[in-house]
Amino acid sequence: MDPIQNGHIIIISKKHYLDIRDIPENELLDLINLEKKLITILEDNFNLLGVSVLQNNGKTMDQGTHFHIHLVPRYSNDYFWENHEVEKIQFDLDLLKRKLKK
C-alpha cells in the first residue's frame, strides 16, 4: 500500500496497539526480532546501502491504524532525505535533557 521504495516492507502487529508503549514486552521483542530478520534478508541479499526504520506513535497515527514499522531499503542516490521538508518547531531541549537525566 503506497510503498515509498521498491522492497519497502511494513511490519504490523496482529493485535491493535496505538503505539509502541502499548505493546507488551514479549510481543515487542517478537516484533523487533522479526525486524532484525527482515533487515538481514534485505541487506544480505540485495544491493542496498542499508534500511531506514520508520514508525509513528500516538496522535500521528491515522484513526484505526495499528502500530506498524516501515522498513525502507536505501539505495545509492535515492535522495530519500532530500525529499523530506518539515517546518521546524520550537523545542525545549533543556526540558528533554532534564527528563532524560531522571
Residue with cell 511494513: 10
Give pLDDT tens digits for 85-95. 778 788 889 99
**Contact of 69 with 55, CB cutoff 8 Å:** yes
Q: In terms of pTM, does the model score above 0.85?
A: no
How far from the centroid of its chain's Cα atoms is residue 18's Cα? 14
* CA torsion through residues 51, 56, 57, 61, sign: negative
Among residues 16, 66, 68, 84, the one annotated as catalytic is 68
Contacts of 78 (CB under 8 A, 6+ apart): 5
Read off the pLDDT of residues 16-48 as tens digits, 9 standing for 90 and up. Answer: 888 888 899 999 999 999 999 999 999 999 999
Is 16 designated active site? no
Taking alpha carbons only, the member of 12, 73, 80, 78 closest to residue 45 is 73
Contact between residue 27 and residue 13 where contact means Cβ atoms under 8 Å apart: yes
